[in-house]
């Protein structure tokens, strides 16, 4: 029998080695699974709720749905403040951050953001136990509407007095003297008395043009007084219902609490409010309910949810939503996740999944 050829022997040896289990498991390892995504979150109900080590909420449902679309697992990293989250994103020490993060131009310059997944805005809350004060009531008397009506009334009174004096100074100098100051003084007195009492017993025009002016003034003064009274009633009713602060237009010069490092701070500074920055929303609520701050401004859905959930929190909502804002997912600059996350968000939106999440946490939209 002929001995095996050297080449054939070598091939048999190599085949045996490759077939050995130890070689196959080390020389050709299976493809490694994708690393878990580290996502920063912070408590802000109802978007992120952290209880007993578990994380849930509106934003958590959104991210879990995105992660399922991407086929990636998630490790949530709980933090306490928005600035801390954004700093970690900017440094690239975290893969993403989600809570109720408002997309702003300043933040966009330091990091990337996903497409918006929620449209929000700001809302004003005031102490629930505080009604109108004498100072706020006085400010209603000095409102633009009342001052405008008062200015119109004074202007028409002086105009009528001048016309009446011009018509009566020659034919009725006893009631309306010919000298300007004395005559205008008497004519003004007659005009004011006509508004208040309907006439003046010891003074009356005698010429036909003068009496025509008098009749016109008597009829016009009825309309003017009725309009002035209606404006006053409207202002005082609004004051009794809403108190001194009725919306964002009432905030300039007021002390207003909000959460430090949020987009609400910049909005309040633009309104020339005196900002009282608090570390957490609970502290801002306490500052407002105790009267240390005259009002509270924060994200409308978060504020409404907290007030509804917390019985006796001591504040109530007033005015409309203002300063429209968009919530997005913060990503490090040039993150490879941006396009996949945006694609996943579009898929979730088109499928109705985002709308279902919104109904789950916030109820049906109005």
Say which residues have a Cβ less than 8 Å from residue 268's Cβ, sequence separation at least 6: 251, 256, 258, 275, 297
Does residue 98 carry a pLDDT above 80?
Answer: yes
Q: Is residue 310 part of a domain?
A: yes
Return the residue matching tokens 């003074």: 203
In a domain, 313, yes or no: yes
- Residue 22 domain flag: no
Cα torsion angle, 224, 230, 236, 238, sign: negative
Q: Cα–Cα distance between 143 and 196 in angstroms, integer? A: 23
Domain boundary among 242, 267, 294: 242
Q: Spell out the residues 6+ positions from residue 218 whose beta carbon is closer than 8 angstroms to its own.
A: 194, 198, 199
* Distance in angstroms (rounded) separating the CA atoms of residues 12 and 8: 6
Instruction: Give Cα 199 distance to the centre of its chain.
Output: 52
Closest-CA residue to 275 (of 291, 249, 294): 294
Report how far residue 35's alpha carbon sits from residue 241's, in angstroms, rounded to the nearest whole number.
Answer: 57
What are 253-312's pLDDT values in tens digits?
Answer: 899 999 998 889 999 999 999 999 999 999 999 999 988 999 999 999 999 888 888 877
- 197 and 229 belong to one structural domain: yes
The length of the chain in residues reads: 366
The DSSP line for 297-356 is EEEHHHHHHHHHHSTT-SEEEEEEEEEEEEE--EE-TT-TTHHHHHHHHHHHHHHTHHHH
State the pLDDT confidence band at 137, using cuts at 50, 70 and 90.
Answer: low
Domain that holds residue 58: 37-117+328-362
Q: Do 328 and 85 meet the contact criterion of CB atoms below 8 Å apart?
A: no
Cα-based distances in Å from 71 to 34, 56, 343, 362: 9, 19, 13, 27
- Over residues 211-255, the pLDDT tens digits come to 898 888 888 888 877 887 777 666 555 544 445 788 899 899 899
Q: What is the pLDDT of residues 190-212, one digit of tens each?
A: 888 888 876 676 788 889 998 89
Q: Domain with 154 in it: what CATH number?
A: 1.10.287.70
Q: For residues 250 and 139, what is the distance between their CA atoms, to the nearest angstrom?
A: 11
Residue 215 lies inside a defined structural domain of this protein: yes
In a domain, 285, yes or no: yes
Rg for the chain, CA atoms, rounded: 37
CATH code at 261?
3.40.190.10
Strands ordered across the beta sheet of 37-41: 74-78, 37-41, 96-97, 330-331, 112-113
pLDDT of residue 22: 46
Q: Are 303 and 123 in contact (CB under 8 A)?
A: yes
């Amino acid at each position: 029998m002929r001995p095996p050829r050297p080449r054939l022997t070598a091939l048999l040896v190599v085949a045996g080695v490759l077939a050995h289990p130890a070689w196959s498991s080390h020389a050709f390892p299976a493809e490694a699974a994708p690393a878990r995504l580290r996502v920063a979150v912070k408590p802000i109900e109802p978007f992120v709720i952290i209880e007993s080590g578990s994380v849930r909420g509106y934003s958590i449902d959104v991210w879990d749905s995105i992660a399922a679309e991407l086929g990636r697992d998630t490790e949530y990293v709980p933090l306490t403040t928005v600035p801390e989250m954004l700093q970690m994103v900017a440094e690239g020490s975290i893969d993403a951050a989600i809570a109720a993060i408002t997309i702003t131009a300043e933040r966009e310059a330091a990091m990337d953001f996903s497409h918006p997944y929620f449209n929000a805005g700001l809302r004003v809350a005031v102490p629930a136990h505080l009604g109108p004060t004498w100072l706020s009531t006085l400010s209603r008397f000095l409102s633009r509407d009342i001052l405008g009506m008062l200015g119109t009334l004074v202007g028409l009174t002086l105009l009528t007095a001048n016309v009446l004096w011009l018509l009566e100074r020659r034919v009725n100098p006893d009631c309306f003297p010919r000298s300007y100051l004395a005559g205008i003084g008497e004519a003004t007195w007659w005009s004011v008395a006509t508004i208040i009492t309907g006439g003046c017993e010891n003074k009356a025009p005698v010429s036909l043009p003068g009496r025509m002016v008098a009749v016109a003034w008597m009829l016009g003064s009825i309309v003017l007084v009725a309009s002035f009274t209606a404006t006053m009633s409207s202002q005082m009713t609004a004051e009794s219902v809403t108190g001194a602060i009725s919306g964002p237009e009432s905030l300039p010069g007021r002390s207003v609490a909000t959460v430090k490092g949020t987009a609400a701070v910049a909005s309040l500074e633009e309104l020339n409010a005196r900002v009282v920055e608090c570390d957490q929303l609970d502290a801002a609520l306490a500052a407002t309910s105790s009267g240390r701050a005259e009002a509270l401004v924060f994200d409308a859905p978060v504020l409404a949810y907290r007030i509804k959930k917390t019985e006796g929190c001591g504040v109530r909502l007033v005015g409309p939503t203002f300063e429209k804002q968009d919530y997005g997912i913060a990503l490090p600059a040039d993150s490879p996740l941006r396009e996949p996350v945006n694609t996943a968000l579009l898929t979730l939106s088109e499928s109705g999944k985002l709308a279902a999440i919104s109904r789950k946490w916030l109820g049906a939209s109005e």
